[in-house]
Structure 1
Amino acid sequence: MTGRVLSLRRRWRKAVRRCAAALTQAVGRHPFLAGIAGTAVATAMASLTFLTLYDGRADALLHAHETSENLVSLVSSDLARNVEIYDLSLHSMVDGAQNPQTWKLPTELRQAVLFDRATTAAYLGGAYVLDAGGRVIASQRDELDPSVRLDDRDYFVAQQRNPDVGLFVSHPFRSRLRGGNLSIGLTRRINGPDGAFAGVALLAIRIEYFQHLLDKINTGKAGSVFIVLDDGTLLARKPYTEEAIGSSIAKSPTFMLMASRAEGSYVAKSAVDGVRRIFTYAHVPSTPLIAVVAPAEEDVFAEWRRRSLLAGGLTLALGAVFVLVSWLLAFTLQGKVEAQAELVRLAATDPLTGLSNRRVLDNRLDEEWLRARRNGSAMSVLFVDVDYFKKFNDTYGHAAGDEVLIAVAECIASVVRRSVDLVARYGGEEFAVVLPETSAQGALVIAEKIRKKVQAISVFYEPDAQGSVTVSVGCATCLPAQGGSVSGLMAQADAQLYVAKSAGRNRVSAGA
């Protein structure tokens, strides 16, 4: 078992090494892959970071919604509980006021019958019984003023006109009995023995109750929380502005959404101060009240923005550095590849003429010989030698001789133009031409073109003298499939070169 595990490990390591080697070779052949890969990796990492940051924004928004829903639920529960308690007191007051015996009782006992202990709760401005004319006929604190009539109040008019209105929550008003304190009224109708309107039971709740409730809630620096009637009348708001209390937001598009549904959430600009907020609202059960919590988008996303700027900035900076390093590496590798290619070219090139050197010639001869033997095609070789070169070199110097060699090399290269052909400097003033898939006749034609091309050039080696350079060419052709060898073919071409030399130079000699 241990041996099998070790064998698997060895195979795995070999596979990893092979992959690494293949990757290294690929990058070596295509150095810009390093830059492209680095850019792709940096882009992918940046994309992942930004997706994560976007998810963080969604999480911040979700957390704000959940928190707002919880706060709305708390406010709504508190309001519903207190309104229910106050409504029980109103029912008690109505029952007591509708009983004729109550009004025959002594004042203290009548007060105890009409007003229970709930009417002494904090933020309760007062408890009153009004007659059919709107005058206060009983008060928890004996605030009786015959000159004060309340028959114009909305809570009185509503109960007077509609026997089925039930519990009515009024708009904010300034109290005429308590020095102008801002309050709202909770009322129920009092009927006479015959069912006719006989008055109103009223509980006045100070606006401070709602403000105190809202002050406990933290919605951020620019956030808001408010309580509004279902007709758009604002009862309380944080941040508090006295002029806003009692104002109407009924025409605001944001309020229309609240009025149309029991609860919900949306994002919009506030109709009061224009701040963009996330509104979460709920209608308080059994009341016309709507509780709204609206943190500002700026506050909700402040921490997320701070983290995003930090993470996004670092990601972009590191990504830019990574891309820069990747492309620097790519250009460095490119330079190395070009340098290596140049070294390979120099190793395969004759430094004087720019033609292929002897090493390349030998390798190419072997390759073309094998190919011709497989294909059954002919293969030809030319030997080109500059005539009287030693004499010319001795007379005019090596610099002039080098110029002649360069000019001859250019002539040969201009004639031999197929991509499969090879022109190489064999050594000294000798050149070799490899002509794959070329017959003896074809080789002879090319050799003659080379001879004429060289003869046509003029070399000026003295101010008052002009001379022509000539070459002798030996041609050899064979069918490798029928036997023989590369060395034998070259020997034949060399022999034909000497034939051309012996026949007077500046000529071509061919043999097969």
Structure 2
Amino acid sequence: MRINCEGGEAHVVHQTLSLRRRLHKKLRGYGAGVSRYVGNQPFFVGVAGTLVAVSMAGLTLLTLSSGRADALDHARETSGNLVAIISTELERNVEIYDLSLQAMADGASNPASWKLPADVQRAVLFDRATTAAYLGGAYVIDREGRVVASQNSDVNTAVSLADRDYFLVHQRSPAVGLYFSHPFHSRLRDGKLSIGLTRRIDEIDGSFDGVALLAIRIEYFQHLLDRIDTGRLGSVFIVMDDGTLLARKPFSPRDIGSSIAKSPTFQIMAAHNAGTYVANSAVDGVRRMYTYARVPRTPLIAVVAPSVDEVLAPWRHRSRITAALTLTFGAVFVVISWLLSLALRDKLRAQAALVRLAATDPLTGLGNRRVLDTRLDEEWRRARRSGQPLSALFIDIDHFKQFNDAHGHASGDEALVAVAECISAAVRRWVDVVARYGGEEFAVILPDTSAEGALKVAEKIRRKVQGQDVIHSGGESATVTVSVGCATCVPAGGANALDLLAAADRQLYVAKAAGRNRVSSDTLAERPMPQDSPS
């Protein structure tokens, strides 16, 4: 600032000094106010410290979380590459073997092939691919199940293969194409474990004339997996789409040929063509990241499953170092977080219990009417999209009022529970819906089930109920029976899911009118249900 007169300069200096004194006084008053606030509110220090700890812990956790996600993504990408390698290897070899099988089937169906000298005949029927390292043999099997030609000239006509699954499948259907058998102990190679790739051989008129067989030693699949490193706790395996295990690393002879179809991990694979998920192994309990893919044009599924613990081991080592630096500052935050976590856990458990109570019939433990309506609507829409049949059963206890009058309501409740248990025991698929409709009535929804299949289930329920005695409150046993109405349809646009239940209900009354303790089914069940007529 530039001053041109002495009087003006003195005035500016005076104003500046006065402003500084007033500002200093205000700052001293503000500091005293803060001190009084902190003194009167001691939790403020704890809150401030907690906020600092939370901020630091939040930044640390964000970094660690990003590192964990990166580790899992890298493992997922690596597993996907390994699955692709296995899948490509299997697909390529199966394609080569299938070409050999087609050549074998074409040659065997030509009558001229059987008039050639033995060595020329083998050259015509079997190409060089049939001598691959892990092939257990190439054979032509006649319509009686006897081996009539082999690529190694070793033909044992005393052995019959007519009971093998691959033989029976081709014998029954000309449209099977390339077939993968289940593992079997070879009768031609001293009981060695193999699987068969087969194609049907036809006569000129198209009738069944035998099977062309390539026996693949089970060691082929195991050798393929032995080259994959998934760590000490990891696993890699090849399984058929029906759950039959062909090879597994770590190797266990008793697992080969066994079924894992009921394993929750396999059910996820069976429902999709490819994917990745984390689950505990049903075999050894190890938590693994399962990456899987179906091998194109085969019933095989290739799976690579590294252990989650081993995948995250390097990340955890770095995390321990980082966590040690923030442990002191985050102690209060950890305690609060755990208390909140426990409170939330209790709340979620209570909410889940309320949801279960709202969806469950308290007497029988079955789903209630709300569950039935919801699932029926879902299955109806799904069946309409897929064009598959949807079946419904309506079940009613015969003469239930007389039973109650004769034995009392407590015995009536026992009868309801007994019938519910019989229905649940007869309906075993996880997609099926069993619910108490009301009173002594029950309903069952059977997705992807034809009228014939629904009738079998209904008859099974009826027999189970009839064969079970109810012990009523007097200590004596009594027999109850049920009448069942069945209805099946292929949903069409404009139709209503409740029409299906109504059709089953009508069949129930038909069964009752016919004398009870019987099943009545809609004979037109396989035709698409018509659209609602306009009002």
State the TM-score, normalized to the length of structure 1.
0.56
Check 1:308–1:90 CA distance in 2 against 1; reply closer, same or farther (3 A cut).
same
Q: Which one of the candidate residues 130, 136, 147 is aligned to 2:158?
A: 147
Q: Deviations over 1:457-503 (max 9, x none)?
A: xxxxxxxxxxxxxxxxxxxxxxxxxxxxxxxxxxxxxxxxxxxxxxx
Q: Specify the alignment match of 1:108 in structure 2.
A: 119
1:171 matched to which residue of 2?
182
Taking the aligned partners of 1:219 and 1:24, their CA distance within structure 2 comes to: 63
Q: Which string of whole-angstrom CA distances, capped at 9 and with x for unpartnered residues, describes residues 181-209 of structure 1?
A: 11100000001122111111000001111
| Distance in structure 2 (CA, Å) of the matches to 1:131 and 1:25 | 105
1:264/1:282 contact within 8 Å kept = yes
- Structure 2 match to 1:187: 198
How far off its partner does 1:257 sit? Answer: 1.5
Show the counterpart of 2:512. Answer: none
**Structure 1 position 138, deviation (Å):** 0.6
Structure 2 match to 1:288 = 299
Distance (Å, rounded) in 2 between the aligned partners of 1:185 and 1:156: 10
Matched residue, 1:128 = 139
The question of whether the paired residues in 2 share the 8 Å contact of 1:27 and 1:34 is answered with no
**Maintained 8 Å contact 1:143/1:177:** no
Residue identity opposite 1:252 in structure 2: S
Structure 1 143/309 Cα, relative in aligned 2: closer, same or farther at 3 Å? Answer: same
Relative to structure 1, is the Cα distance of residues 278 and 115 closer, same or farther in structure 2, using a 3 angstrom cutoff?
Answer: same
CA distance in 1, matches of 2:133, 2:210: 26
How far did residue 172 of structure 1 move? 0.5
Q: How many angstroms apart in 1 are the aligned matches of 2:317 and 2:94?
A: 43
Deviation at residue 122 of structure 1 after TM alignment? 1.4
Q: 1:198 aligns with which of 203, 206, 209?
A: 209
The letter for the 2-side match of 1:220 is: G
Q: Distance in 2 between matches of 1:35 and 1:267?
A: 40
For residue 34 of structure 1, report the CA deviation from its aligned partner: 7.5
Code of the aligned partner of 2:68: R
Question: What's the counterpart of residue 377 of structure 1?
Answer: none
Distance across 1 between alignment mates of 2:247 and 2:331:
53
2:79 corresponds in structure 1 to 68
Structure having the higher Rg: 1
Letter in 1 for 2:323: G
Cα deviation, residue 306, structure 1:
2.2
Residue type of the alignment partner of 1:223: G
Alignment of 1:423-462 (within 5 A): none
Higher relative contact order (CA 8 A, sep 6+): 1
Out of 245, 249, 267, the residue aligned to residue 256 of structure 1 is 267
**Structure-1 separation of matches of 2:276 and 2:181:** 26
Is the Cα–Cα contact under 8 Å of residues 232 and 250 in structure 1 kept in the other structure? yes
Cα deviation 1:126-183 (Å, max 9, x = unaligned): 1100111111111011121121111111111111111100000000011111111111
Q: Is this contact kept in 2: 1:228–1:234, CA < 8 A?
A: yes
Task: Work out the percentage of aligned pairs sharing the same amino acid.
Answer: 65
Query: 2:176 aligns to what SS in structure 1?
Result: coil
- Report the counterpart of residue 221 of structure 1 in structure 2: 232
* 5+ residue gaps, structure 1: 1-17, 322-512
Shift of 1:319: 5.9
Tell me the equivalent position of 2:67. Answer: 56
SS at match of 2:327: helix
Contact 1:267 1:279 in 2 (8 A): yes
Tell me the distance in 1 between the aligned counterparts of 2:168 and 2:252: 29
Residues 85-144 of structure 1 show CA distances to partners (whole Å, capped at 9, x for unaligned) of 000000111111111111111111111111111111111111100111111111011121
Instruction: Report what 1:158 is aligned to.
Output: 169
Q: Which letter does structure 1 place at the counterpart of 2:192? A: N
Q: Distance in 1 between matches of 2:330 and 2:193?
A: 61
Q: How does 1:479-490 map to 2 (within 5 A)?
A: none
The structure 2 residue matched to 1:99, chosen from 107, 110, 113, is: 110
Unaligned runs of 5+ in 2: 1-23, 333-535
1:238 is aligned with what amino acid? Answer: K
Task: Report the CA distance shift for 1:79/1:234 in structure 2 as closer, same or farther (over 3 A).
Answer: same
1:270–1:276 CA contact under 8 A, matched in 2: yes
Secondary structure in 2 matching 1:142: coil
Q: Deviations over 1:224-246 (max 9, x none)?
A: 11111111111111111011000
8 Å Cα contact 1:71-1:217 kept in structure 2: yes
Distance in 2 (CA, whole Å) between partners of 1:272 and 1:155 is 29
Match of 1:365 in 2: none
Match of 1:315 among 305, 326, 329: 326
Alpha-carbon distance in structure 1 between the residues aligned to 2:183 and 2:74? 34
Q: Distance in 1 between matches of 2:285 and 2:31?
A: 61
Post-superposition Cα deviations, 1:313-337, rounded to whole Å, max 9, x if no partner, equal 221136679xxxxxxxxxxxxxxxx
The 3-state SS of whatever aligns with 1:77 is: helix
Give, in angstroms, the shift of residue 282 of structure 1: 0.8
- 1:385-416 per-residue CA deviation (whole Å, 9 max, x = no partner) reads xxxxxxxxxxxxxxxxxxxxxxxxxxxxxxxx
Aligned residue in 2 for 1:84 = 95
TM-score, normalised by the number of residues in structure 2: 0.53
User: Per-residue displacement from partner, 1:427-458 (whole Å, max 9, x unpaired)?
Assistant: xxxxxxxxxxxxxxxxxxxxxxxxxxxxxxxx
> Distance in 1 between the 2:95 and 2:102 partners?
10
CA gap of 1:316–1:99, structure 2 versus 1, over 3 A, is same
Query: Displacement, 1:27?
Result: 7.2
The letter for the 2-side match of 1:151 is: A
Residue 416 of structure 1 aligns with which residue?
Answer: none
Quote the offset at 1:271 in angstroms: 2.3
Q: Distance in 1 between matches of 2:265 and 2:51?
A: 45
Write the distance in 1 (CA, Å) between the matches of 2:171 and 2:184.
Answer: 18
Q: Give the whole-Å Cα distance in 2 for the aligned partners of 1:98 and 1:151.
A: 19
Q: CA offsets per residue over residues 352-388 of structure 1, 9 Å max, x none?
A: xxxxxxxxxxxxxxxxxxxxxxxxxxxxxxxxxxxxx
Aligned partner of residue 242 in structure 2, secondary structure: coil
Q: Could you say if the C-alpha distance between residues 301 and 160 of structure 1 is closer, same or farther in structure 2, counting changes exceeding 3 Å?
A: same
Counterpart in the other structure of 1:212: 223
Give deviations 1:46-85, integer Å, cap 9, x for gaps.
2210222122222222222212111111111111111000
CA contact (8 A) 1:129 1:138 kept: yes
**1:245 maps to which residue?**
256
